[in-house]
Amino acid sequence: MTVDHELQQTHCGSPHSCCLLLLLLAVTHIGCQATPRTTFSTSPPDRHLFSGDGFAIHSDVPLRPDDPIVKQLAETRLTVTNRLKLQEQRDPIDVYLFSDEVSYRNFLRVRWPALPSRRAYFMQTSKQLAVYSFVSSRVLSDLRHEFTHGILHASCSHVPLWLDEGLAEYFETATDLDNRRSQQHLDELLLAEQEGWSPGMFRLEMIAEFSAFSARDYAEAWAWTHFLLNGSREGQAVLLKYIADLRDATVAPGFLQRLEKAVPTYAGDLWDHLHSLRRDSNAAL
What is the rounded CA–CA span in Å between residue 228 and residue 240?
9
What is the rounded CA–CA span in Å between residue 138 and residue 236?
30
What is the rounded CA–CA span in Å between residue 236 and residue 212?
27
What is the rounded CA–CA span in Å between residue 64 and residue 231?
38
3 state SS of 181 = coil
Q: Indicate the length of the chain as a whole number.
A: 285
Ramachandran quadrant class, 63 (left: phi over 0; alpha: psi -120 to 50; beta: rest): beta
What is the rounded CA–CA span in Å between residue 166 and residue 44?
28
Per-residue pLDDT of the chain (285 residues), as tens digits, is: 323 334 555 666 554 444 332 222 233 333 334 444 555 567 899 999 999 999 999 998 899 999 999 999 999 999 999 999 999 999 999 999 999 999 999 999 999 999 988 999 999 998 999 999 999 999 999 999 999 999 999 999 999 999 999 999 999 987 654 577 888 999 999 999 999 999 999 999 999 988 899 999 999 999 999 999 999 999 999 999 999 999 999 899 999 999 999 999 999 999 999 999 988 777 655
